[in-house]
Amino acid sequence: MEQKHAKYGLGMTVIGSIFFIFGFATTFIITLSGQVKDIFMLTEFKAQLLSFSFFITYFFISIPIGLYIKKIGYKSALIAGLLLMAAGSFLFFPAAKAPSFPLFLAATFVLASGVVFLQTAANPYVTALGSEESAGGRMNLVQALNSIATMVAPWIISVFIFRGASEMLTSMQKAETVQMPFIIIGVIVVLVAIAIALIKLPEVGGSSVELKKSVWKHPHVLLGALGIFFYVGAEVGTGGLILNYLKETQIIDGLPMESAVAAKYVAIYWGGAMIGRFFGSIMLSNITDNIKKYSYAAAVLLLALVSGSFVTEWNWNIGLVFMIVAIGNFIMMQLGKGNAGRSLAVFALIAATLAIVTAFTSGSVALWAVISIGMFNSIMFPNIFTLAVKDLDPGELSTASGIINTLIFGGAIIPLIMGKIADVSGYSWAFVVPALCYLYIFFYAVKGSKFRSA
Protein backbone atom coordinates (compact mmCIF):
# COMPACT_ATOMS: atom_id res chain seq x y z
CA MET A 1 0.00 0.00 0.00
CA GLU A 2 2.82 2.43 0.87
CA GLN A 3 4.53 1.66 -2.43
CA LYS A 4 1.26 2.39 -4.29
CA HIS A 5 0.88 5.74 -2.51
CA ALA A 6 4.53 6.57 -3.26
CA LYS A 7 4.01 5.88 -6.98
CA TYR A 8 0.79 7.94 -6.95
CA GLY A 9 2.62 10.82 -5.28
CA LEU A 10 5.47 10.62 -7.79
CA GLY A 11 3.03 10.55 -10.69
CA MET A 12 1.13 13.60 -9.42
CA THR A 13 4.39 15.48 -8.72
CA VAL A 14 5.74 14.92 -12.23
CA ILE A 15 2.42 15.77 -13.88
CA GLY A 16 2.09 18.86 -11.68
CA SER A 17 5.47 20.10 -12.93
CA ILE A 18 4.40 19.39 -16.52
CA PHE A 19 1.23 21.45 -16.08
CA PHE A 20 3.34 24.28 -14.64
CA ILE A 21 5.70 24.22 -17.62
CA PHE A 22 3.13 24.27 -20.40
CA GLY A 23 0.99 26.76 -18.47
CA PHE A 24 3.91 29.17 -18.33
CA ALA A 25 4.76 28.75 -22.01
CA THR A 26 1.14 29.15 -23.14
CA THR A 27 0.47 32.34 -21.20
CA PHE A 28 3.86 33.76 -22.11
CA ILE A 29 2.94 33.48 -25.80
CA ILE A 30 -0.59 34.88 -25.31
CA THR A 31 0.63 37.92 -23.37
CA LEU A 32 3.54 38.45 -25.76
CA SER A 33 1.07 39.40 -28.50
CA GLY A 34 0.97 42.90 -27.00
CA GLN A 35 4.73 43.26 -27.42
CA VAL A 36 4.69 41.72 -30.89
CA LYS A 37 2.02 44.24 -31.94
CA ASP A 38 4.43 47.06 -31.09
CA ILE A 39 7.57 45.39 -32.49
CA PHE A 40 6.10 44.73 -35.93
CA MET A 41 3.53 47.59 -35.90
CA LEU A 42 0.58 45.25 -36.46
CA THR A 43 -3.19 45.55 -36.21
CA GLU A 44 -4.81 43.71 -33.30
CA PHE A 45 -6.05 41.07 -35.73
CA LYS A 46 -2.54 40.38 -37.03
CA ALA A 47 -1.05 40.44 -33.52
CA GLN A 48 -3.47 37.67 -32.54
CA LEU A 49 -1.88 35.49 -35.23
CA LEU A 50 0.64 34.63 -32.52
CA SER A 51 -2.12 32.94 -30.53
CA PHE A 52 -3.45 31.49 -33.77
CA SER A 53 -0.08 29.87 -34.54
CA PHE A 54 0.02 28.41 -31.04
CA PHE A 55 -3.48 26.97 -30.82
CA ILE A 56 -3.95 25.84 -34.42
CA THR A 57 -1.46 23.04 -33.65
CA TYR A 58 -4.18 21.37 -31.57
CA PHE A 59 -6.34 21.08 -34.68
CA PHE A 60 -3.64 19.39 -36.75
CA ILE A 61 -1.96 17.02 -34.35
CA SER A 62 -4.05 16.30 -31.24
CA ILE A 63 -5.86 13.20 -32.59
CA PRO A 64 -2.71 11.70 -34.20
CA ILE A 65 -0.84 12.28 -30.95
CA GLY A 66 -3.68 10.74 -28.94
CA LEU A 67 -3.39 7.59 -31.06
CA TYR A 68 0.40 7.66 -30.97
CA ILE A 69 0.48 7.88 -27.19
CA LYS A 70 -1.38 4.55 -27.03
CA LYS A 71 1.66 3.01 -28.74
CA ILE A 72 4.57 4.75 -27.00
CA GLY A 73 3.07 5.29 -23.53
CA TYR A 74 2.61 8.40 -21.40
CA LYS A 75 6.20 8.70 -20.23
CA SER A 76 7.69 8.73 -23.74
CA ALA A 77 5.03 11.23 -24.82
CA LEU A 78 5.97 13.58 -21.98
CA ILE A 79 9.66 13.44 -22.93
CA ALA A 80 8.89 14.02 -26.63
CA GLY A 81 6.68 16.99 -25.76
CA LEU A 82 9.32 18.59 -23.57
CA LEU A 83 12.02 18.25 -26.25
CA LEU A 84 9.74 19.81 -28.87
CA MET A 85 9.03 22.67 -26.48
CA ALA A 86 12.75 23.21 -26.03
CA ALA A 87 13.33 23.28 -29.80
CA GLY A 88 10.60 25.89 -30.24
CA SER A 89 11.97 28.00 -27.38
CA PHE A 90 15.47 28.06 -28.89
CA LEU A 91 14.03 29.10 -32.29
CA PHE A 92 12.87 32.38 -30.74
CA PHE A 93 16.49 33.51 -30.49
CA PRO A 94 17.04 33.83 -34.28
CA ALA A 95 13.42 34.99 -34.70
CA ALA A 96 14.08 37.93 -32.38
CA LYS A 97 17.56 38.51 -33.80
CA ALA A 98 16.21 39.08 -37.34
CA PRO A 99 13.56 40.24 -36.18
CA SER A 100 11.09 38.21 -38.29
CA PHE A 101 7.36 37.89 -37.57
CA PRO A 102 7.00 34.75 -39.78
CA LEU A 103 9.86 33.13 -37.83
CA PHE A 104 8.15 34.16 -34.58
CA LEU A 105 5.05 32.32 -35.79
CA ALA A 106 7.09 29.26 -36.83
CA ALA A 107 8.84 29.09 -33.45
CA THR A 108 5.46 29.39 -31.76
CA PHE A 109 4.09 26.49 -33.81
CA VAL A 110 7.01 24.21 -32.87
CA LEU A 111 6.79 25.12 -29.19
CA ALA A 112 3.02 24.57 -29.25
CA SER A 113 3.49 21.13 -30.81
CA GLY A 114 5.40 20.16 -27.69
CA VAL A 115 2.65 21.56 -25.49
CA VAL A 116 0.04 19.50 -27.39
CA PHE A 117 2.07 16.37 -26.72
CA LEU A 118 2.24 17.23 -23.02
CA GLN A 119 -1.41 18.14 -22.63
CA THR A 120 -2.76 15.18 -24.58
CA ALA A 121 -0.74 12.84 -22.37
CA ALA A 122 -1.13 14.64 -19.06
CA ASN A 123 -4.92 15.14 -18.88
CA PRO A 124 -5.97 11.47 -19.17
CA TYR A 125 -3.02 10.47 -16.99
CA VAL A 126 -4.37 12.60 -14.13
CA THR A 127 -7.90 11.27 -14.68
CA ALA A 128 -6.77 7.63 -14.67
CA LEU A 129 -4.30 7.94 -11.79
CA GLY A 130 -6.98 7.62 -9.10
CA SER A 131 -10.69 7.11 -8.53
CA GLU A 132 -13.29 8.61 -10.89
CA GLU A 133 -15.04 10.27 -7.94
CA SER A 134 -11.99 12.41 -7.10
CA ALA A 135 -10.93 13.02 -10.73
CA GLY A 136 -12.39 16.55 -10.69
CA GLY A 137 -10.36 17.41 -7.60
CA ARG A 138 -7.13 16.08 -9.16
CA MET A 139 -7.77 17.93 -12.40
CA ASN A 140 -8.40 21.19 -10.54
CA LEU A 141 -5.24 20.68 -8.46
CA VAL A 142 -2.92 20.25 -11.44
CA GLN A 143 -4.74 23.06 -13.26
CA ALA A 144 -4.07 25.24 -10.19
CA LEU A 145 -0.36 24.47 -10.51
CA ASN A 146 -0.71 25.34 -14.19
CA SER A 147 -2.29 28.64 -13.17
CA ILE A 148 0.57 29.58 -10.85
CA ALA A 149 2.68 29.59 -13.98
CA THR A 150 0.07 31.56 -15.94
CA MET A 151 0.18 34.29 -13.29
CA VAL A 152 3.98 34.36 -13.18
CA ALA A 153 4.40 34.63 -16.97
CA PRO A 154 2.68 38.05 -17.45
CA TRP A 155 4.49 39.37 -14.38
CA ILE A 156 7.84 38.36 -15.89
CA ILE A 157 6.84 40.02 -19.16
CA SER A 158 5.90 43.16 -17.23
CA VAL A 159 9.17 43.31 -15.31
CA PHE A 160 11.72 42.01 -17.79
CA ILE A 161 10.24 42.78 -21.22
CA PHE A 162 7.78 45.68 -21.18
CA ARG A 163 9.74 47.70 -18.63
CA GLY A 164 12.92 47.31 -20.67
CA ALA A 165 11.16 47.82 -23.98
CA SER A 166 9.76 51.17 -22.89
CA GLU A 167 13.34 52.48 -22.90
CA MET A 168 14.20 51.06 -26.33
CA LEU A 169 13.95 53.08 -29.50
CA THR A 170 13.99 50.47 -32.28
CA SER A 171 11.91 47.43 -33.11
CA MET A 172 15.05 45.27 -33.14
CA GLN A 173 15.95 46.32 -29.60
CA LYS A 174 12.41 45.58 -28.43
CA ALA A 175 12.56 42.16 -30.08
CA GLU A 176 15.83 41.31 -28.33
CA THR A 177 14.14 41.60 -24.91
CA VAL A 178 12.32 38.29 -25.53
CA GLN A 179 15.44 36.25 -26.33
CA MET A 180 16.73 35.43 -22.87
CA PRO A 181 13.37 34.32 -21.37
CA PHE A 182 12.96 31.76 -24.15
CA ILE A 183 16.53 30.50 -23.78
CA ILE A 184 15.88 29.96 -20.06
CA ILE A 185 12.60 28.16 -20.83
CA GLY A 186 14.39 25.87 -23.30
CA VAL A 187 17.16 24.94 -20.88
CA ILE A 188 14.75 24.21 -18.01
CA VAL A 189 12.52 22.08 -20.23
CA VAL A 190 15.48 19.97 -21.40
CA LEU A 191 16.54 19.37 -17.79
CA VAL A 192 13.01 18.25 -16.85
CA ALA A 193 12.93 15.88 -19.84
CA ILE A 194 16.19 14.29 -18.67
CA ALA A 195 14.82 13.94 -15.13
CA ILE A 196 11.64 12.21 -16.36
CA ALA A 197 13.71 9.84 -18.49
CA LEU A 198 15.59 8.75 -15.37
CA ILE A 199 12.60 8.01 -13.11
CA LYS A 200 9.95 5.29 -13.14
CA LEU A 201 6.37 6.55 -13.45
CA PRO A 202 3.27 4.52 -12.54
CA GLU A 203 1.53 3.11 -15.62
CA VAL A 204 -2.15 3.70 -16.32
CA GLY A 205 -4.42 2.53 -19.11
CA GLY A 206 -6.75 -0.23 -20.10
CA SER A 207 -7.83 -2.43 -22.95
CA SER A 208 -7.58 -1.11 -26.47
CA VAL A 209 -10.91 0.04 -27.94
CA GLU A 210 -11.47 0.80 -31.63
CA LEU A 211 -12.14 4.48 -32.28
CA LYS A 212 -15.25 4.00 -34.49
CA LYS A 213 -16.90 1.68 -31.99
CA SER A 214 -16.36 3.85 -28.97
CA VAL A 215 -15.49 7.50 -28.57
CA TRP A 216 -17.20 8.93 -31.65
CA LYS A 217 -20.57 7.55 -30.61
CA HIS A 218 -20.52 9.33 -27.24
CA PRO A 219 -22.36 12.69 -27.62
CA HIS A 220 -21.14 13.97 -24.25
CA VAL A 221 -17.52 13.60 -25.44
CA LEU A 222 -18.12 15.52 -28.67
CA LEU A 223 -20.23 18.24 -27.04
CA GLY A 224 -17.58 18.50 -24.33
CA ALA A 225 -14.91 18.96 -26.98
CA LEU A 226 -16.99 21.84 -28.41
CA GLY A 227 -17.19 23.23 -24.87
CA ILE A 228 -13.39 23.18 -24.73
CA PHE A 229 -13.32 25.05 -28.08
CA PHE A 230 -15.42 27.89 -26.69
CA TYR A 231 -13.78 27.90 -23.26
CA VAL A 232 -10.20 28.10 -24.55
CA GLY A 233 -11.21 30.61 -27.21
CA ALA A 234 -12.87 32.85 -24.62
CA GLU A 235 -10.02 32.56 -22.11
CA VAL A 236 -7.24 33.13 -24.66
CA GLY A 237 -9.12 35.87 -26.51
CA THR A 238 -9.80 37.73 -23.29
CA GLY A 239 -6.26 37.21 -21.96
CA GLY A 240 -4.75 38.32 -25.27
CA LEU A 241 -6.82 41.51 -25.54
CA ILE A 242 -6.78 42.66 -21.91
CA LEU A 243 -3.42 44.43 -22.19
CA ASN A 244 -4.33 46.56 -25.19
CA TYR A 245 -7.92 46.94 -23.95
CA LEU A 246 -6.64 48.49 -20.71
CA LYS A 247 -4.14 50.69 -22.58
CA GLU A 248 -7.02 51.91 -24.77
CA THR A 249 -9.72 52.43 -22.13
CA GLN A 250 -8.03 53.12 -18.77
CA ILE A 251 -6.76 56.63 -18.00
CA ILE A 252 -4.31 57.22 -15.12
CA ASP A 253 -3.39 60.81 -14.22
CA GLY A 254 -4.65 61.95 -17.62
CA LEU A 255 -2.55 59.42 -19.55
CA PRO A 256 -3.34 56.00 -21.03
CA MET A 257 -2.30 53.05 -18.89
CA GLU A 258 1.26 51.93 -19.70
CA SER A 259 2.04 48.44 -21.01
CA ALA A 260 4.03 47.51 -17.90
CA VAL A 261 1.09 48.42 -15.66
CA ALA A 262 -1.49 46.72 -17.89
CA ALA A 263 0.60 43.52 -17.92
CA LYS A 264 0.32 43.35 -14.12
CA TYR A 265 -3.46 43.33 -14.40
CA VAL A 266 -3.11 40.57 -17.01
CA ALA A 267 -1.18 38.64 -14.35
CA ILE A 268 -4.10 39.14 -11.95
CA TYR A 269 -6.51 37.86 -14.62
CA TRP A 270 -4.51 34.64 -14.93
CA GLY A 271 -3.94 34.58 -11.17
CA GLY A 272 -7.69 34.47 -10.71
CA ALA A 273 -7.73 31.13 -12.52
CA MET A 274 -5.06 29.92 -10.10
CA ILE A 275 -7.12 30.92 -7.04
CA GLY A 276 -10.34 29.45 -8.42
CA ARG A 277 -8.64 26.16 -9.29
CA PHE A 278 -7.21 25.83 -5.82
CA PHE A 279 -10.73 26.32 -4.50
CA GLY A 280 -11.94 23.74 -7.00
CA SER A 281 -9.29 21.21 -5.99
CA ILE A 282 -10.50 21.57 -2.40
CA MET A 283 -14.26 21.55 -2.96
CA LEU A 284 -14.27 18.81 -5.62
CA SER A 285 -11.86 16.56 -3.75
CA ASN A 286 -12.71 13.61 -1.49
CA ILE A 287 -11.87 15.60 1.66
CA THR A 288 -14.79 15.07 4.07
CA ASP A 289 -13.51 17.07 7.05
CA ASN A 290 -15.16 20.52 6.75
CA ILE A 291 -12.71 22.12 9.16
CA LYS A 292 -9.83 20.98 6.97
CA LYS A 293 -11.62 22.16 3.82
CA TYR A 294 -12.27 25.65 5.13
CA SER A 295 -8.77 25.91 6.57
CA TYR A 296 -7.38 25.22 3.11
CA ALA A 297 -9.81 27.76 1.64
CA ALA A 298 -8.61 30.41 4.12
CA ALA A 299 -5.03 29.73 3.01
CA VAL A 300 -6.09 30.25 -0.62
CA LEU A 301 -7.68 33.60 0.28
CA LEU A 302 -4.40 34.65 1.89
CA LEU A 303 -2.62 33.58 -1.30
CA ALA A 304 -5.00 35.83 -3.27
CA LEU A 305 -4.14 38.80 -1.06
CA VAL A 306 -0.38 38.25 -1.27
CA SER A 307 -0.18 37.31 -4.95
CA GLY A 308 -2.40 40.22 -6.05
CA SER A 309 -0.22 42.61 -4.05
CA PHE A 310 3.04 41.06 -5.24
CA VAL A 311 2.44 41.34 -9.00
CA THR A 312 1.43 45.01 -8.58
CA GLU A 313 4.64 45.86 -6.69
CA TRP A 314 3.07 45.31 -3.26
CA ASN A 315 -0.04 47.40 -3.83
CA TRP A 316 -2.06 45.98 -0.92
CA ASN A 317 -5.22 47.83 -2.00
CA ILE A 318 -5.28 45.91 -5.27
CA GLY A 319 -4.43 42.72 -3.39
CA LEU A 320 -7.38 43.34 -1.06
CA VAL A 321 -9.80 43.84 -3.95
CA PHE A 322 -8.47 40.66 -5.52
CA MET A 323 -9.11 38.81 -2.26
CA ILE A 324 -12.67 40.17 -2.07
CA VAL A 325 -13.30 38.86 -5.59
CA ALA A 326 -11.86 35.53 -4.42
CA ILE A 327 -14.32 35.46 -1.52
CA GLY A 328 -17.16 35.97 -3.99
CA ASN A 329 -15.73 33.19 -6.13
CA PHE A 330 -15.63 30.82 -3.15
CA ILE A 331 -19.21 31.68 -2.16
CA MET A 332 -20.43 31.03 -5.70
CA MET A 333 -18.57 27.73 -5.70
CA GLN A 334 -20.71 26.59 -2.78
CA LEU A 335 -23.71 26.74 -5.11
CA GLY A 336 -22.07 23.94 -7.04
CA LYS A 337 -22.27 21.69 -3.97
CA GLY A 338 -19.13 19.81 -5.04
CA ASN A 339 -20.77 18.71 -8.31
CA ALA A 340 -18.70 19.26 -11.46
CA GLY A 341 -21.69 19.99 -13.73
CA ARG A 342 -23.48 22.30 -11.33
CA SER A 343 -20.27 24.21 -10.53
CA LEU A 344 -19.52 24.60 -14.23
CA ALA A 345 -23.01 25.99 -14.90
CA VAL A 346 -22.73 28.60 -12.12
CA PHE A 347 -19.30 29.76 -13.22
CA ALA A 348 -20.19 29.90 -16.92
CA LEU A 349 -23.20 32.11 -16.22
CA ILE A 350 -21.17 34.48 -14.05
CA ALA A 351 -18.35 34.66 -16.63
CA ALA A 352 -20.88 35.52 -19.36
CA THR A 353 -22.28 38.30 -17.15
CA LEU A 354 -18.81 39.71 -16.44
CA ALA A 355 -17.98 39.74 -20.16
CA ILE A 356 -21.17 41.70 -20.88
CA VAL A 357 -20.34 44.16 -18.07
CA THR A 358 -16.87 44.59 -19.63
CA ALA A 359 -18.43 45.34 -23.01
CA PHE A 360 -20.96 47.91 -21.81
CA THR A 361 -19.29 49.73 -18.91
CA SER A 362 -16.05 51.65 -18.41
CA GLY A 363 -13.51 52.72 -15.79
CA SER A 364 -12.84 50.65 -12.68
CA VAL A 365 -16.05 48.64 -13.08
CA ALA A 366 -14.98 47.42 -16.53
CA LEU A 367 -11.41 46.83 -15.34
CA TRP A 368 -12.38 44.58 -12.45
CA ALA A 369 -15.11 42.88 -14.47
CA VAL A 370 -12.63 41.75 -17.14
CA ILE A 371 -10.00 40.82 -14.55
CA SER A 372 -12.52 38.78 -12.56
CA ILE A 373 -13.42 36.66 -15.59
CA GLY A 374 -10.18 34.81 -14.99
CA MET A 375 -11.33 33.61 -11.58
CA PHE A 376 -14.54 32.19 -13.02
CA ASN A 377 -12.67 30.58 -15.91
CA SER A 378 -10.83 28.62 -13.25
CA ILE A 379 -12.70 25.32 -13.06
CA MET A 380 -14.01 25.28 -16.62
CA PHE A 381 -11.34 23.26 -18.39
CA PRO A 382 -10.95 20.56 -15.72
CA ASN A 383 -14.71 20.27 -15.20
CA ILE A 384 -15.54 20.16 -18.91
CA PHE A 385 -12.82 17.56 -19.40
CA THR A 386 -14.00 15.51 -16.41
CA LEU A 387 -17.61 15.55 -17.65
CA ALA A 388 -16.53 14.72 -21.20
CA VAL A 389 -14.55 11.58 -20.28
CA LYS A 390 -16.94 10.36 -17.60
CA ASP A 391 -18.03 6.72 -18.01
CA LEU A 392 -15.39 5.96 -20.66
CA ASP A 393 -13.31 2.81 -20.63
CA PRO A 394 -9.67 3.49 -19.62
CA GLY A 395 -8.58 2.37 -23.07
CA GLU A 396 -10.67 5.15 -24.63
CA LEU A 397 -9.10 7.95 -22.59
CA SER A 398 -6.14 8.81 -24.82
CA THR A 399 -8.34 8.89 -27.95
CA ALA A 400 -11.01 10.99 -26.24
CA SER A 401 -8.30 13.32 -24.96
CA GLY A 402 -7.01 13.68 -28.52
CA ILE A 403 -10.47 14.67 -29.76
CA ILE A 404 -11.05 17.08 -26.89
CA ASN A 405 -7.59 18.62 -27.22
CA THR A 406 -8.11 19.08 -30.96
CA LEU A 407 -10.90 21.54 -30.15
CA ILE A 408 -8.46 23.61 -28.08
CA PHE A 409 -7.83 25.28 -31.43
CA GLY A 410 -10.69 27.54 -30.36
CA GLY A 411 -7.78 29.50 -28.93
CA ALA A 412 -6.71 30.12 -32.53
CA ILE A 413 -10.11 31.18 -33.89
CA ILE A 414 -11.89 33.19 -31.17
CA PRO A 415 -8.96 35.63 -30.55
CA LEU A 416 -8.86 36.42 -34.28
CA ILE A 417 -12.57 37.20 -34.24
CA MET A 418 -12.15 39.36 -31.15
CA GLY A 419 -9.13 41.09 -32.70
CA LYS A 420 -11.05 41.92 -35.86
CA ILE A 421 -13.98 43.32 -33.86
CA ALA A 422 -11.52 45.37 -31.76
CA ASP A 423 -9.98 46.84 -34.93
CA VAL A 424 -13.35 47.67 -36.50
CA SER A 425 -15.64 48.54 -33.58
CA GLY A 426 -13.38 49.01 -30.55
CA TYR A 427 -12.06 46.73 -27.80
CA SER A 428 -15.19 46.86 -25.64
CA TRP A 429 -17.42 45.28 -28.29
CA ALA A 430 -14.99 42.38 -28.68
CA PHE A 431 -16.02 41.04 -25.26
CA VAL A 432 -19.51 40.15 -26.51
CA VAL A 433 -17.83 37.15 -28.18
CA PRO A 434 -16.61 35.42 -24.99
CA ALA A 435 -20.02 36.09 -23.42
CA LEU A 436 -21.60 33.94 -26.13
CA CYS A 437 -18.93 31.28 -25.62
CA TYR A 438 -19.73 31.05 -21.91
CA LEU A 439 -23.44 30.66 -22.65
CA TYR A 440 -22.70 27.53 -24.68
CA ILE A 441 -20.65 26.18 -21.76
CA PHE A 442 -23.65 26.83 -19.52
CA PHE A 443 -25.76 24.72 -21.90
CA TYR A 444 -23.20 21.91 -21.82
CA ALA A 445 -23.09 21.91 -18.03
CA VAL A 446 -26.88 21.84 -17.69
CA LYS A 447 -27.87 19.61 -20.60
CA GLY A 448 -25.13 18.61 -23.07
CA SER A 449 -22.97 16.66 -20.62
CA LYS A 450 -25.93 14.38 -19.83
CA PHE A 451 -26.38 13.11 -23.39
CA ARG A 452 -25.26 9.49 -23.72
CA SER A 453 -25.12 7.02 -26.62
CA ALA A 454 -27.98 4.54 -26.86
Tell whether the model's pLDDT for residue 419 goes beyond 90.
yes
Report pLDDT for 213.
Answer: 46
DSSP 391: T
Tell whether the model's pLDDT for residue 136 goes beyond 80.
no
Average pLDDT over residues 400-408: 82
Average pLDDT over residues 68-96: 88
- Share the mean pLDDT of the chain: 84
Report pLDDT for 207.
Answer: 42
Report pLDDT for 76.
Answer: 86
Q: Is the peptide bond before 382 cis (omega within 30 degrees of 0)?
A: no
Greater confidence, 175 or 256?
256
Q: What is the pLDDT of residues 74-87, one digit of tens each?
A: 788 889 999 999 99
Instruction: Please measure the distance between the N-terminal and C-terminal CA atoms of the chain and give it in whole angstroms.
Output: 39
Report pLDDT for 214.
Answer: 59
Phi/psi for 310 (5° steps) reads: -60, -50
Burial class of 258 by CB neighbour count within 10 A (0 to 12, 13 to 18, 19+): middle
Average pLDDT over residues 15-33: 84
Q: Three-state DSSP class for 237?
A: helix
Report pLDDT for 360.
Answer: 96
Q: What percent of the chain has pLDDT over 90?
A: 43
User: Are 111 and 58 spatial neighbours (Cβ–Cβ below 8 Å)?
Assistant: no
Domains and CATH numbers, the chain: 2-450 (1.20.1250.20)
Tell whether the model's pLDDT for residue 168 goes beyond 60.
no
Average pLDDT over residues 277-306: 85
| pLDDT band, residue 46 (cuts 50/70/90) | very high
Report pLDDT for 132.
Answer: 64
Tell whether the model's pLDDT for residue 56 goes beyond 90.
yes
Greater confidence, 284 or 432?
432
Tell whether the model's pLDDT for residue 167 goes beyond 60.
no
User: Are 393 and 207 spatial neighbours (Cβ–Cβ below 8 Å)?
Assistant: yes
User: Strand pairing partners for 251?
Assistant: 256
| pLDDT band, residue 212 (cuts 50/70/90) | very low
Q: Three-state DSSP class for 180?
A: helix
Tell whether the model's pLDDT for residue 453 goes beyond 50.
yes
User: Are 109 and 57 spatial neighbours (Cβ–Cβ below 8 Å)?
Assistant: yes
Tell whether the model's pLDDT for residue 309 goes beyond 60.
yes
| pLDDT band, residue 402 (cuts 50/70/90) | confident
CB-based burial, 211-221: b 16+ in 10 Å, e otherwise: beebbeebebb
Closest CA to 52 of 108, 134, 110: 108
Average pLDDT over residues 8-27: 79
Report pLDDT for 68.
Answer: 82
Report pLDDT for 128.
Answer: 67
Query: What whole-number distance in Å separates Cα of residue 212 and Cα of residue 230?
Result: 25
Report pLDDT for 430.
Answer: 97
Phi/psi for 289 (5° steps) reads: -80, 110
Query: What whole-number distance in Å separates Cα of residue 115 and Cα of residue 282?
Result: 27
Tell whether the model's pLDDT for residue 343 goes beyond 50.
yes
Q: What is the pLDDT of residues 179-205, one digit of tens each?
A: 888 898 899 889 889 988 887 766 655
Report pLDDT for 152.
Answer: 83
Greater confidence, 353 or 294?
353
Helices (H), 284-409: 290-310, 316-334, 340-360, 363-377, 380-388, 397-406
